[in-house]
A = this chain, B = another copy of it.
Amino acid sequence: MGTTQLETVPEPKYWHLKTVLSEALDSEFTVGEILPNERDLAARFGVARATLRQALEQLELEGRLQRRRGVGTTVAPPRVGVAVAPARHTWPGAAGDDWQPVDAVESDTVPAAVARLLETAAGDRVHIVRRSRVTQGRPLAAELLYVPAAVVPGCQETGVLNGPARAHAVLQELQSLELEGQDRTVELGSARAEDAKQLDRLPGAPVLVVTTRYVSGGRTTAVAVSTYRADTCRLTFGESDAVALLAG
């Protein structure tokens, strides 16, 4: 046969579209610039809107685009480098940490995965401190910090305190304990409705879930579940924070 078929596996349209758009973003657009709307773009490329959207979704996942309902699609700035593991181990809420306490509640039900780490039994009272991390006015991450009531006995009477003050009380008492170590896991998740609101995203948006285990007195003393916007954040670990400068 004289026919040459270099691509035995034809590239899907949305994949090719993504490549074309990606190159266009590099060469013809600047950060913050607004793209034509989806209907126009689809028409221009001769595809259905759903196909165009598949390409846009990928680019948004990679942090290249930002889409907002009622507004439009804009070119996203490079991802923000976010230091996750400080050089020195510290309790959450220690001086200089980038989180802002939001409020705290006491509960006797925690997610199964958290209960397993804390080795708490069903019914054990646990403080749940909500915190949020913001940079340049934009929400980066939401966190739930789980501290068994038995770990911070001084916080028995915090019921009278209001939100932030209560969170402060729990965090403050933690500082008095000796922190022996910590470890973390990172995995992909999708934002729960509550997190999504806090992160200014729609429910289901992709997030990087960082689970931190704080060890003190030979056992897991607290667990933090931090939910970072996957589209805008690049998590940084390690001694040198200089790498946070890396772009694109």
Measured CB to CB, the residues of A under 8 A from B are: 15, 18, 58, 61-63, 79, 81, 85, 112-113, 116-117, 181-190, 203-204, 206, 208, 211, 213, 215, 230-231, 233-240, 243, 246-248
Contact = CB atoms under 8 A, between A and B. Distances in A.
A185 B204 CA distance: 24
Given A113-B246, A204-B15, A237 B186 contact: yes
Contact of A181 (B58, B61, B208, B238): B238
Contacts of A184: 236-238
A23 to B, nearest CB: 14
A37 to B, nearest CB: 21
A206 to B, nearest CB: 6
Given A181-B238, A239-B183, A188 B61 contact: yes
Contacts of A187: 63, 79, 208, 230, 233-235
B188 A206 contact: yes
A188 B82 CA distance: 13
Given A58-B204, A113-B247, A246-B116, A235 B190 contact: no
Nearest to A204: B58
A188 B188 contact: yes
14 contacts: A61-B190, A63-B187, A63-B188, A79-B187, A81-B185, A85-B237, A113-B246, A181-B238, A183-B243, A185-B234, A185-B237, A186-B186, A188-B208, A237-B237
